Chains A and B, each alone.
Chain A
Amino acid sequence: MVDQTPHIAPELQEILAAVSDPEIPVLSILEMGVVREAILEESKAFVKITPTYSGCPAMDVIGDDIKAALKNAGFDAEVKLVLSPAWTTDWITEKGRIALREYGIAPPLEADADKEALLGNKKIVSCPQCNSTNTKMVSQFGSTACKAFFQCEDCLEPFDYFKCLK
């Protein structure tokens, strides 16, 4: 097992933690697992980010936001998009999962459980509003590429489920 923990220079940690995903503003890009490396050479920062989904339109914005945040902190930055290793929902941190849930998005389940949930075989995705697992999938595709659309059959609230990607 290769160590997938990203290497982030301590000086950059706080600055990058303040940059959020434009589509999920409660989630920092570090919690999202999008930043794969951030190193400092003299006063220049080199940041590698990886897309969640190939067509994710947020990536360009995230790249620009990183550059702006680092510039404000006095660093020149170079942001590079890397495809390999491919992003997985496992890289969303525990803190990130809690933030997702509080924001109203059900965080991803494990891969096997995800399949059962999306095929409608098992009711295991719990509603971020009332915690009931009496939920049903409305659509495999949701408001963005990374989400499916669900509805709670108890409190009747519709909600997004962050699909498991491995």
Chain B
Amino acid sequence: MNKDLYNYILGVADNSLILGQRMGELCGHGPSLETDIACTNISLDLFGQVRSYFQYAADVSGDERTEDDIAFLRREREYKNVLLVEQPNTDFAYTIVRQFLFDVYHVLFLEELKKSSDETLQAIAVKSVKEAKYHERFSSDWVIRLGDGTEESHQKIQDAVDVLWTYTDELFHQTDSDIEMVKAGVAVDVTQLKESYYKKVNEILNEATIQIPESKWFQKGGKQGIHTEHLGYLLSDMQYMQRTYPGMEW
């Protein structure tokens, strides 16, 4: 099997899987009916994309593993998602800022993945980018509405931005497999996305009257499997059914 390709697919897929799980947690718990439905719709889109990635990863692995095994039966250290997406739904400001910080990246990323030399990844990207753009519109709107809203909503968005900001730089890190796949024309060179990312994020935050954090210190490690304390709890929830009833299909 092409180990670099396999690792690369997982790196891309895990971001959507873990964020999808976080948004899915809000099913029945959203702050209003409309936002509840929106969060779970976003979750559903992400899971749909994830399924395409994991089916492909299962093909590439060339062994007995299925999409379900890959999605549900890995250990914490084997998940390669960025730390941003595993951060908890502290309050709606955190949920929406986390989504916004990821969506801006996701759209830029998928636009580039559309040019991949790998036909399957290319097809998934063409499909997914349409959905990601819609998510971005939703999360940006909310960041602006709440940031430029009441004193309280403004403060909450500012707090969430201040905390989650330290997780943004990791989006542009590369693993060894990523670098190999960039050379092969398969992967997106994420280091090239950084400038457009911060430009777009800053534009929206300015419109939302939110101050952009000045700290140059950033968290990292998710892509290498070194996660924050939150991922373990998320996985125990997510993997419960598959571990209790082995062989379940989603």
* Chain A 131-156: CB-based contact to B (< 8 A → 1; otherwise 0): 00000001111110100010000000
B49/A54 in contact, CB under 8 A: yes
B45/A83 in contact, CB under 8 A: no
Minimum distance in angstroms from B128 CB to a CB of chain A: 6
Say yes or no for B137: interface residue by CB 8 A criterion: yes
Say yes or no for A51: interface residue by CB 8 A criterion: yes
Contact of A55 with B126 at beta-carbon distance under 8 Å, contacts A140-B38, A140-B134 already known: no
Contact of A86 with B130 at beta-carbon distance under 8 Å, contacts A55-B46, A140-B137 already known: yes
- In the bound complex, how far is the Cα of B38 from the Cα of A143, in angstroms? 9
CB within 8 Å of A: which of B113-140?
Answer: 119-120, 122-124, 126-128, 130-131, 134, 137-138
Minimum distance in angstroms from A108 CB to a CB of chain B: 13
B126/A54 in contact, CB under 8 A: no
Say yes or no for B37: interface residue by CB 8 A criterion: yes
A53/B123 in contact, CB under 8 A: no
* Chain A 41-64: CB-based contact to B (< 8 A → 1; otherwise 0): 000000000010111110000000
Contact of A56 with B48 at beta-carbon distance under 8 Å, contacts A84-B122, A84-B126, A85-B126 already known: yes
Say yes or no for A165: interface residue by CB 8 A criterion: yes
B45/A140 in contact, CB under 8 A: no
B41/A54 in contact, CB under 8 A: no
Residues in chain B near residue A57, CB distance under 8 A:
44
Residues in chain A near residue B51, CB distance under 8 A:
54-55
Residues in chain A near residue B131, CB distance under 8 A:
53-54
Q: Interface majority SS on B: helix, strand, loop or mixed?
A: helix
* Chain B 21-37: CB-based contact to A (< 8 A → 1; otherwise 0): 00000000000011101
B37/A141 in contact, CB under 8 A: yes
CB within 8 Å of A: which of B1-49?
Answer: 33-35, 37-38, 41-42, 44-49
Residues in chain A near residue B49, CB distance under 8 A:
54-55
- In the bound complex, how far is the Cα of B130 from the Cα of A86, in angstroms? 10
Residues in chain B near residue A83, CB distance under 8 A:
52, 120, 123-124, 126-127
Most buried by B among A55, A85, A163: A55
- In the bound complex, how far is the Cα of B124 from the Cα of A51, in angstroms? 11
Residues in chain B near residue A86, CB distance under 8 A:
123, 126-127, 130
Q: Interface majority SS on A: helix, strand, loop or mixed?
A: loop
Residues in chain A near residue B38, CB distance under 8 A:
139-141
B122/A53 in contact, CB under 8 A: no
B45/A138 in contact, CB under 8 A: no
Contact of A55 with B138 at beta-carbon distance under 8 Å, contacts A84-B126, A86-B123 already known: no
Tell which of B52, B120, B137 touches A54, judged by Cβ atoms closer than 8 Å.
Answer: B52
Contact of A54 with B138 at beta-carbon distance under 8 Å, contacts A83-B52, A139-B34, A141-B34 already known: no
Residues in chain B near residue A84, CB distance under 8 A:
119, 122-123, 126-127
* Chain A 106-148: CB-based contact to B (< 8 A → 1; otherwise 0): 0000000000001100000000000000000011111101000
Tell which of A55, A142, A165 touches B44, judged by Cβ atoms closer than 8 Å.
Answer: A55
Contact of A54 with B48 at beta-carbon distance under 8 Å, contacts A84-B126, A86-B123 already known: yes
Closest to B47 in A: A55
Chain B residues close to A by CB (< 8 Å): 33-35, 37-38, 41-42, 44-49, 51-52, 119-120, 122-124, 126-128, 130-131, 134, 137-138
Interface pairs A-B: 4 shortest CB-CB: A55-B48, A54-B48, A84-B123, A139-B34
Q: What are 24 A-B interface contacts by the 8 Å CB criterion?
A: A51-B48, A51-B127, A53-B48, A54-B48, A55-B44, A55-B45, A55-B51, A83-B127, A84-B122, A84-B123, A84-B126, A86-B126, A86-B130, A118-B137, A139-B33, A139-B35, A140-B138, A141-B38, A142-B37, A145-B44, A149-B34, A163-B134, A165-B130, A166-B130
Chain A residues close to B by CB (< 8 Å): 51, 53-57, 82-87, 118-119, 138-143, 145, 149, 163, 165-166
